[in-house]
Amino acid sequence: MKHIYAAALTAVFLMSSPALRAQEVEFVAQDAGEIALSEFKWTHRVLVVFADSPLDPSFREQLDLLATRPEALLERDVVVITDTDPAAKSMVRTELRPRGFGLVIVDKDGRVMLRKPDPWNVREITRAIDKTPLRQQEIQNALHGGG
């Protein structure tokens, strides 16, 4: 119950922040290319969207869903990486080994926290992130002025 209360207080605090309300956030996804997941350890959560082609309907749907609320992802330090070329064998693809379409979230500690074979909306993604111990600690730190 304490976690729910803390999350609710954080949500109220963030919604009342004029800087966040005034800020227009644009959704940006990076291509996996030469990116290594280790580049983001302890600084960002990584949301990777895999598909065998950029024309995959699930891939397009996932990007559309993410674009609806980029500010919610930004609040949680999420970077979005896409990989639609299995032949390129990117470092991200080699490490996470997807099959077809897939959504993978890697927490700041480098641990894979979620794998889904279907598109998820931002609300589902942020709820999953908000349940993690690292995110709970961030919420507590924000409530107590520590970060």
Backbone angles phi, psi at 51, to 5 degrees: -160, 160
For residue 74, the model assigns a pLDDT of: 97
Establish if 5 belongs to a structural domain. Answer: no
Per-residue confidence of the chain (147 residues) as pLDDT tens digits? Answer: 333 333 333 343 344 444 544 457 788 899 999 999 999 999 999 999 999 999 999 999 999 999 999 999 999 999 999 999 999 999 999 999 999 999 999 999 999 999 999 999 999 999 999 999 999 999 999 998 865
Establish if 124 belongs to a structural domain. Answer: yes
CB-count exposure of residue 102 (10 Å: 0-12, 13-18, 19+): buried
Establish if 147 belongs to a structural domain. Answer: no
What is the rounded distance in angstroms from the CA atom of residue 45 to the CA atom of residue 73? Answer: 9
Establish if 142 belongs to a structural domain. Answer: no
Q: What is the CATH number of the domain that holds 55?
A: 3.40.30.10
For residue 66, the model assigns a pLDDT of: 98
For residue 40, the model assigns a pLDDT of: 98
Establish if 20 belongs to a structural domain. Answer: no
Question: Where in the sequence is the domain holding 85, given as residue range(s)?
Answer: 26-132
For residue 57, the model assigns a pLDDT of: 99
Establish if 76 belongs to a structural domain. Answer: yes
Rg (CA), the chain: 16
**What total of structural domains would you count in the chain?**
1
For residue 13, the model assigns a pLDDT of: 38
**Strand (E) or helix (H) holding 121:** none
Establish if 74 belongs to a structural domain. Answer: yes
At 65, the amino acid letter reads: L
Establish if 70 belongs to a structural domain. Answer: yes
Helix spans in the chain (H): 2-16, 18-22, 57-67, 70-75, 91-96, 122-130, 133-143
